[in-house]
Amino acid sequence: MKSKLMIVAILAIVVISIIAAGCTTTNTGATATPTTQAQKTITVIDDRGKTLTVPYPAKRVVFLVENAMNTMYAVGGADDISGIGDIWMPQYKEDFFRAVDSNYNATQKVGYVNGAVDLEALAKANPDLVVLWSADWDDKDTKAIEETLHVPVYGVFLRNFSDIYEQHRDFAKIVGNEKRGQEVLDTMNATMKKVTDVTSAIPENEKPTVYWMWGDVYGTAGLHSSTNDMINAAGGVNVVSKWNNDTKYDEHPVLTMEAIQALNPDVIYMWYNPNLDPKDIMTGEDYKAWRNINAVKNGRVYELDNPFLDDSMTSRLPLVVMKIAKNINPDKFASLDLNKEYDAFFVSVYGVHYPGYAKA
């Protein structure tokens, strides 16, 4: 009797197990969805040529290079920024950042300690992507971030117009705003075309030669640089193209005073320098050696005097080219109203007016 009961119990257990297994198999096949979905990813290639696998859409991006953060604002990614690095000349920029990013003040700030990224502050931002300035796959900050926080690092190193435009495509893709990214590029192209439609018709022998003056004065823009592209687009000729020295192809060649005098540029264009103005170059006691250069003799020394507005490594690149073109080819752009162009561009790209940053 006991053996019969035992057999019945075993059979009952087997039947129940089969039924349960069948139900489980049926349910799994019907839903085909795990309780927690795997994070989607996409691949992008940074300016160093490094292929990165990035969470998609990225929701926590840390920018240790502010030019690129401007691009993220343009493509609609303000809410996806979880950390912000040091800002150069913040007094010129932070009003704008606050206008386009309501979280700017509260966003985790990430600085540098002893010349290296503050990894502790960076970890607090809990990034799924870090963006920094770098030309080298294995620079110390990239390695430290990847090895310590196991987060992909997008290296920014802009050498030409194409790099700047590609950055917009990448960041729009990373945050899932491809349509917005294309709208920004369309505005940039339309603004640039207002300049190049005019400058492309200027005969080569009528274009002024331009010496670009970086902050170190004797350092200039080489032929393989985005600044060289700006000079060309604005209807000028980079004067180092006439220099018989192979370093002219470097991004940042350094000339001697004798070389600059021999090249005798028609225009000197200065990048923003808090310690030096065009007037200093033309009349300063320390710059007497420049007095016989055509640009100085004719009062044709100009400056990109606003480190925010004139940041050519952002969406505002066409506005910078427009300003340069109006300075170096004034007769061709006499009717161009820069203030009107600035405002229209800011409304289209950032959704605020310029100046003042009132919501559009």
Flag whether pLDDT at 191 surpasses 90: yes
User: What pLDDT, on a 0 to 100 scale, did the predictor assign at position 37?
Assistant: 59
Question: Is residue 360 pLDDT above 60, yes or no?
Answer: yes
Average pLDDT over residues 250-266: 98
Tell me the average pLDDT across 256-284.
97
pLDDT tens string 171-184? 999 999 999 999 99
| pLDDT, tens digit, 9 for 90 and up, residues 38-75 | 789 999 999 999 999 999 999 999 999 999 999 999 99
Greater confidence (28 vs 255) lies with: 255
User: Residue 24: which pLDDT band, with cuts at 50, 70 and 90?
Assistant: very low
CA distance 126 to 54: 14
Q: Please, what are the domains in the chain?
A: 41-188 (3.40.50.1980), 202-350 (3.40.50.1980)
* Strand bridging mode 51-55 / 41-45: antiparallel
Q: Mean pLDDT of all residues in the chain?
A: 91
Tell me the pTM: 0.88
Q: Quick one: average pLDDT of 271-278? A: 96
Using alpha carbons, list the distances in angstroms from residue 267 to 27, 99, 155, 238, 359. Answer: 76, 36, 34, 10, 38
Per residue in 197-213, pLDDT tens?
Answer: 999 999 999 999 999 99
Region 227-239 average pLDDT: 98
256: tokens are 């001697």
Q: What pLDDT score was predicted for residue 226?
A: 96
Tokens 């670009």 sit on residue: 212
Mean pLDDT calculated for residue range 86-115 = 97
The Cα–Cα gap between 83 and 105 comes to 11
